[in-house]
Amino acid sequence: MRSTRATAAVARLNARSDGHHYHLVLTGDGLFKLSEPSGNTSFSNALPLDEFVRMVDAMGPQKIRRVTKSDAAFALQLVRKPKT
């Protein structure tokens, strides 16, 4: 199903947002909209899948990524050293 990515993005947004619950609306022409449960307020225009997922992922409070010591050490190794 095409809308699985969009549904997962809305589920992530609902998990991050306290006090707000969002719904996914699939239009007849295959575009996606974000609205409130009553359906009265639409939070976005109808968007294609990729744009909709990007927009929903950018909304609301962002989850802070946990960085382990190993991740930090690996990131330091990825920095290019200037040639002398």
CB of 32 closer than 8 Å to CB of 49: yes
Q: Reply yes or no on whether the pLDDT at 2 is more than 70.
A: no
User: For residue 47, what are its two tokens?
Assistant: 């968007």
Q: What is the mean pLDDT of residues 16-43?
A: 84
How far apart are the C-alpha atoms of 46 and 25, rounded to whole Å? 9
Quickly tell me which residue has 């939070």 as its tokens.
Answer: 43
Quickly tell me which residue has 């976005």 as its tokens.
Answer: 44
pLDDT tens-digit series, residues 39-57? 677 778 889 999 999 998 8
